[in-house]
Amino acid sequence: GARFVHIVYCFARYVMIEETKKLCGGTGIPFAEAVVWTPEDMYIAEARHRVAYHKLLQVLQREDFVVQEYKKKAQ
């Protein structure tokens, strides 16, 4: 459900941040700091989060639908 998708989203974000920190370490690239940076306008940040969250949910639902259709056709 939605709670599982939220957990997967949070985990994926965490992994991306940690991987970016590891790859950008010592290179002088400020991207890793920008990822964890908190914006001044939290309303816009929350709106962007909602859009990304719903887009991920749509992708996962579409993928589930395709898998279910393949299962039906395989039987």
Report residue 11 CA to chain centroid gap: 8
Domain count for the chain: 1
Tell me the H-state helices in the chain.
Answer: 2-24, 31-36, 42-74
Q: Which domain holds residue 64?
A: 2-74
Q: If DSSP codes are grouped into helix, strand and coil, which group holds residue 37?
A: coil
Locate 23 and state its tokens.
């790859």
Question: Cα-flanking dihedrals φ and ψ of residue 68, to 5°?
Answer: -65, -40
pTM, to two decimals: 0.45
16 CB burial (10 A radius; 0-12, 13-18, 19+): exposed
Q: Residue 69 above 90 pLDDT?
A: yes
| pLDDT tens digits, one per residue of 8-51 | 988 988 888 777 777 666 656 566 565 666 667 778 778 877 88
